[in-house]
Each structure stands twice: as C-alpha cells, then as structure tokens.
Amino acid sequence: MTAIIHTRMLILGSGPAGLSAAIYGARAGLKPMVVQGIQPGGQLTITTDVENYPGFRDVIQGPWLMQEMQAQAEHVGAEMVWDQIVDVDLSQRPFRLTGDGGAVYTADTLVICTGAQAKWLGVEGEQQLSGKGVSACATCDGFFYRGKKVVVIGGGNTAVEEALYLTNHSQDVTLIHRRDSLRAEKILQERLMAHPHIKLLWNKAVKRFVGGGDPEGLVGLDLVDTVTGEESHIATDGAFVAIGHKPSTELFAGKLELDEGYVVVEKGTSKTAVPGVFAAGDVTDKLYRQAVTAAGMGCMAALDVERFLAEVDFEAAKAAE
Ligand code: NAP
C-alpha cells in the first residue's frame, strides 16, 4: 500500500523562493516539506558568478548560495524530499499530490515555487542537435568548447552573461541578436562590448541549426537578416540559446488561473484563487525574475500560509466548541 505523507505546508521547488518559504515556514513552527523537483536549487545552480545578491561584497557562486540556503532551511527544521510531483489534485482537502515514484503527499497548504525553464527557438535542427553542439546552459556545457568557436543567441542578461562566461573557455564568441540593441543591463553591455574575444551580429535570426560529421554534431547556423531578409551562414562548434524562460506550470493547467503560463496571484500577495494555494518566485513573475525578488516572494508566501492556517485553526476550534 502506498504510504501517504501529510504536511501542513508543502513547498514545490527548491530555488530561492522555495527555500526562503521553507526558512520562514520552519521558523513559524509549520514543519514545511520541500519537494525539490527536477533541478534541486533551481536556476542558480546552473549559473556561476552572482554579484547582486545582497550581503556579499565579493562575487559568490550560484550553486554555493543555494547550498547555503538549503543548509539554513534544514537547520531551522524544513524537510527536503528528493521527488518530482507528477499529479496535483486541488479539488479535495487536504490537497493531494503524487510523486513520480508513486508517493502520495497530502497538504493543508501548497506553495508553488516551481520556477521557470529555458526557452528554445523551435527551428530546424535545434532538437536534433541538442547535446551535440546546441545547449541552453553555458555554465553546464561551456567547458566542452575549450579553444573552439561558439555563438550565443539572445539579447538579454542571460545571453550577455553566457557570452562573457564562455570567454573563459573560448577566444571566439559571437553574440547573435535579432535586433540592433540589447535589453541586458548597461553594466553587462559595457563588459560585452569591451571584451576582445566577443563579436556581435545584429539583426540576425536563426533559421536552421546545421549538423555534420560522424558522429553528427553542430557545424554551423543558417541565419536570416531581420531587416533585409538576406540569408547567411556562420560556422560554429557550439550554439547556446539564451532567449528567456517559460514558467514550469504544466501541472497546474486547468487547475489554477495562468497568464501566459505564469500562476496568477492576488496583487501584492502570494495568494492564488484557490484558498490555501500560494505561488512565489519566477513561476508567478514575468517582470523581475531575480534571485532576491524570488526569495522575497518566498518569504511573503510563508507569511500568507501562516495567516491562512491560523484562520483555519481558529475556525476549527470555534466549530469544536
Ligand atoms: P529576457 O530578458 O526575456 O531576454 C530574452 C532575449 O532573447 C531578448 O533579447 C529577446 O529579444 C531574445 N529572444 C526572445 N525570443 C527570441 C526568439 N524567438 N528568437 C530570437 N531572440 C529571441 O530573458 P533573460 O535574458 O533570460 O532574462 C530573464 C530575466 O532574468 C530578466 O528579468 C533578467 O533581468 C533576469 N536575469 C538577471 C540576471 C542578473 O541580474 N545578473 C542574470 C540573468 C537573468 P528581444 O530583445 O528582441 O525581445
């Protein structure tokens, strides 16, 4: 028989939002359980330098920051569970969730901190050459391109950071962007422009990832000029797609209100339309998407959970009188 694990506060996801919710929830005596998900520690585990998380004058490493957050959450009493939720039933109370190994969790409250995942371009050759020269994570795969030629596609902070990171391995990095200006922060743009090993290709969209060789690997990209329509080709050993992220909310489709995939919460709170279900971090944030804003939202969610449970307990005590 499947064991049913009950908790008053179940947190899905273990990035800055989930772990901050866990720290606050544990300190409020709620004994939160954190289902870590497919990428324990979240997106910061696949970044390197973190320079904008308050409290650290020197550059710190993303994976280290997440280890520290997890250690702090465990230290104050949160329980980490190595599992991935595959089914959620919000129509009954307590809520009922199923892990991919069949474990069943019931929860009085649920905090969704499932974050976001890298987007892909969806053009020819991308899927086929994924892992064979095409990647969405320079810090994971950049090492394989030591001394080789690489390109990064995108114009936001991620793309610029990835291009800069790749110069640790390659002396031939090209950033390809579909417009003629970047949306990345000024300070990052300045570093990019000043770097002797980075070139920029403006107004170019990727039409096709081209494979070759045996075993097959990426050999180049077919491009199209977004202004003139002219087609061109760039030879490369590696291509890093850095065009943004999409929220990880497939589990909640049809169960919670979503806006372009993001969980909708009541303004200024972490409350969804289902009482007892809260959301925090990138899964509900299409605007800021920073580690520190996610952590702040995790804190808000724990405080919202605490208030919600206090009301539930009060009503239950009144009914029992
Ligand atoms: P982003 O800011 O949404 O930028 C995505 C980039 O990809 C844009 O330049 C966009 O072009 C381009 N793009 C989108 N779809 C495309 C397509 N189909 N084909 C070609 N190009 C496409 O995403 P992000 O860089 O991943 O950043 C996400 C959030 O995380 C941002 O809020 C960012 O500030 C934050 N972040 C912060 C840091 C940091 O603080 N150090 C680091 C990483 C990320 P257009 O410009 O033409 O729209």
Going from the first residue of the chain to its last (321 residues), give the mean pLDDT of each consecutive group of 10, the final group possibly shorter.
89 98 98 95 82 92 95 98 97 96 96 94 96 89 93 96 96 98 96 98 98 96 98 98 95 96 97 98 91 97 98 91 85
Q: Which helix (H) or strand (E) holds 120?
A: none
Please tell me the predicted confidence (pLDDT) of residue 321: 85
Please give the full DSSP string across 53-94, using - where no structure is assigned.
STT-SS-EEHHHHHHHHHHHHHHTT-EEE---EEEEE-SSSS
Same domain, 114 and 249: yes
In angstroms, the CA 275 to CA 304 distance is 11
Residue list, ligand 1 pocket, CB within 6 Å: 52, 121, 154-159, 161, 178-179, 183, 205, 243-245, 289-290
Please tell me the predicted confidence (pLDDT) of residue 200: 98
Q: What DSSP designation does 264 have?
A: P
- 141 is a catalytic site residue: yes
Atom of ligand 1 nearest to the CA of 119: 15
Question: Do the domain assignments include residue 150?
Answer: yes
Please tell me the predicted confidence (pLDDT) of residue 289: 84
Identify the bridge partners of residue 208 per DSSP, sorted by sequence position: 124, 222
Residue nearest to atom 9 of ligand 1 (CA): 155
* Distance from the alpha carbon of residue 245 to the mean position of ligand 1, in angstroms: 8
Same domain, 208 and 104: no
Catalytic residue chosen out of the listed positions 87, 140, 259, 313: 140
> Which tens digit of pLDDT belongs to each residue from 157-182?
999 999 999 999 999 999 999 999 99
The whole model's pTM is what? 0.81
Same domain, 276 and 250: yes
Residue nearest to atom 38 of ligand 1 (CA): 157
Same domain, 113 and 8: yes
Same domain, 198 and 236: yes
Among 192, 222, 241, the domain boundary falls at: 241
Atom of ligand 1 nearest to the CA of 51: 41
Question: Do the domain assignments include residue 225?
Answer: yes
Please tell me the predicted confidence (pLDDT) of residue 1: 62
Please tell me the predicted confidence (pLDDT) of residue 44: 87
Please tell me the predicted confidence (pLDDT) of residue 48: 72
* Distance from the alpha carbon of residue 131 to the mean position of ligand 1, in angstroms: 22
Domain that holds residue 87: 4-118+245-320
* Distance from the alpha carbon of residue 179 to the mean position of ligand 1, in angstroms: 12
Catalytic residue chosen out of the listed positions 83, 108, 141, 282: 141
* Distance from the alpha carbon of residue 243 to the mean position of ligand 1, in angstroms: 5
**For residue 194, what is the domain's CATH number?**
3.50.50.60
225: exposed, middle or buried (C-beta count within 10 Å: 0-12, 13-18, 19+)?
A: middle
* Distance from the alpha carbon of residue 160 to the mean position of ligand 1, in angstroms: 9
Contact 173, 150 (CB under 8 A): yes
Please tell me the predicted confidence (pLDDT) of residue 139: 81
Please tell me the predicted confidence (pLDDT) of residue 146: 94
Residue nearest to atom 13 of ligand 1 (CA): 243
